[in-house]
Structures are given as C-alpha cells and as structure tokens.
Amino acid sequence: MDIDLNLENYDLDDILALFKIKYSFDKADLKKAKRMVLQTHPDKSKLPKEYFLFFSSAYKVLYSIHRFRTRCDAQETTDYVIEKDKEKESLLKDLSKKKNFNKIFNEMFEKHFVPSDGVDGGYGDWLKSKEDIDTRVTTRQNMNSTFEQKKRETKELIVHRGIEELGGGGHHDLLDEGPESYGSAIFSPFQYEDLRKAHRESVVPVTNEDFENTKKYNSVVDLQKSRSTQDFKPKTYSQSQGLLYAERNTKDIQDVRRAYKLAKQDERIKKTNDGWMASFKMLT
C-alpha cells in the first residue's frame, strides 16, 4: 500500500475519497469507515503502525464533522457547565504577580495567536499600491481603448451565482470569513458601496462586442413576434422538486465543509492552547 501518510496534505474531498463515502454520510458510513481503520491494524494487515495511525486520524476528522452536524439534535434545555482548570488558573495567577507580566503576555500572544481565516485585515495594502494607475492615457484614442480594456477585465471578474437572497455584504459569517465586498443591501436606507469594488468596477462592462452579438429588431412588431415565441410558463412540479433537491444537496455540502473547517479550527486552537500553557510553565 503506497499512500501519503501526512494528513496535512489531505483536504475534505481527499478524506471522503479515502473512505469511499459521500458528503451526506451518516452513522452507517461511519461504521464502515471505522471497519476500514481496524483493518489497517498492524496485527491484521501486517502493515507498519504508521498506516493505522494515519487512518485513525482521518477517521477522527470524519467523526468530528459528524459531531458538529448532529449538535443541533441536542435538547434546548441542556445545561452546560464550564469545567475550570485549576492548574491553569493557579499558573496565570502566579504569573500575573510578576512585574513584567504584560510584556510576557504580549510576547506569548504574538507567538501563539491564531489568525482568522479569510480575513485580510482590510484594504490597506491595496490602497498603498499603484494598481490600476495608468499615466499613459493622454489622448481620446488611448482613453477609448483603455475603457474597452477595462470593460473586458471587469466582465471577466463578474461571477454568475444565479438567484440569491438580497442582503448587505459587510458582515462575517459564523466561520469568521470576510465577505467579497462591503456594500449595503439594495433597499437599505444607508446606501454605500465597497471602496475597492467601486474603484475596480467604475466602468459598466458592456462592450461593442456585446452590442454586436445582441439580436436586433427592425420594428416593435418584430420584437413582439420574437417575445411571443418565448416560453414563460412556470416550472412543473417535478422541475421545482428537482431544483429544491439540488439546492438542498448544495446546502448539505456547504454544511459538511463548514463542519470540517470548524473541526480543523478546533484542533488547531487546542494545539495552540497547549503550546501557550507549555510556554507559561517554562517561565515559572
């Protein structure tokens, strides 16, 4: 068996393919995955122990995803009790008495700080750059060609996402992932636009090529005849069910990816906390 035994080189799709399960895996799939793990045990497979450790770690990722997905099944009346770590509390209490505690804490914080994914810290670097600054545009001919080039570039940046809910874009989701742009909702009383988006998409991306490729009509009658041949009938029940199924399937995939990312964050933060406390213990 020749495979990469470094789990850090695997993403979610690779782990699912490793156990031959889909995004919508359930307890039965977990049991099958666990049986695969047990089959790699050195006593059964005669393989090195590294294989068993690798598959065990990969299975723990799947189990963590399943645990995150099923948390909503817990009763709302559940009472959560915060477990206090007396050893950590005593350690921090002793360190806080040191005169240079703030300096020690700041150094440890910078060393073990875990930055949020998807947060670039604002547009500071972009504002300082000379991107999109073209000083060669001095004539009308150059300006026209520059506008056309700008339209083509802007058109390539536009991503068609289909029908989406209306809402503002200036917020972070539950995973602390930043939005693509910071703009107000379409019907918001406070109309504002993202600075970078307004700067980059200041030209409406409609080129002469779009105009040439658009169908022309000689009269209103021709336009009405063309419109009458178009199908405006509502979708059938089966078509609507198909759309709902596709939407639900997409949502399930997003939920699994979210659970996978949360599980990875939880593991990374746990390792960081262990390193944090180990560094503090060395100072006492």
Give residue-wise pLDDT tens across range 69-119: 776 555 555 565 666 677 777 777 777 777 887 888 888 888 777 766 555
Helix or strand or coil: residue 250?
A: helix
Tell whether the model's pLDDT for residue 246 goes beyond 60.
yes
Per-residue confidence (pLDDT) for residue 59, from 0 to 100: 93
Own/partner contacts of 205-209, CB < 8 Å, gap of 24 or more, are 205/151, 205/152, 205/154, 205/155, 205/158, 206/151, 207/148, 207/151, 207/152, 207/155, 208/148
141: alpha, beta or left? (left if phi > 0; alpha if psi -120 to 50): alpha
pLDDT score recorded for residue 118? 53
pLDDT digits (tens, 9 = 90+) for 146-185: 777 777 777 766 666 666 665 555 555 555 555 666 666 6
**Given this model, what pLDDT does residue 32 score?**
94
Q: Is 60 exceeded by the pLDDT of residue 207?
A: yes
**Distance between CA atoms of 257 and 245, rounded to whole angstroms?**
18
pLDDT band, residue 208 (cuts 50/70/90): confident
Q: Using pLDDT thresholds of 50, 70 and 90, give the confidence band for residue 203.
A: low
Lowest mean pLDDT across 116-120, 213-217, 240-244, 249-253: 116-120
Instruction: Name the region of 78 (left: φ>0; alpha: ψ -120 to 50; beta: rest).
Output: beta
Burial (CB count within 10 angstroms: exposed 0-12, middle 13-18, buried 19+), residue 184: middle
pLDDT at 117: 58
Q: 36 pLDDT band (50/70/90 cuts)? A: very high
Q: Where are the domains of the chain?
A: 7-73, 85-114+215-284, 117-214
Instruction: Find tokens 């001919």 and name the residue.
Output: 141
Three-state secondary structure call for residue 2: coil
262 closest CA partner among 16, 123, 71 = 71
> What percent of the chain lies above the pLDDT cut of 70?
67
Q: What is the DSSP letter of 14?
A: H
Q: How far apart are CA 229 and CA 227, in angstroms?
A: 5
More confident site: 129 or 39: 39
Tell me: the pLDDT tens digits for 190-202?
Answer: 665 666 776 766 6
Q: How many CA atoms lie within 13 A of 64 on its CB side?
A: 19
Say how many C-beta atoms besides its own lie within 10 A of residue 16's C-beta: 22
Maximum average pLDDT range among 183-187, 255-259, 274-278? 255-259
pTM above 0.85, yes or no: no
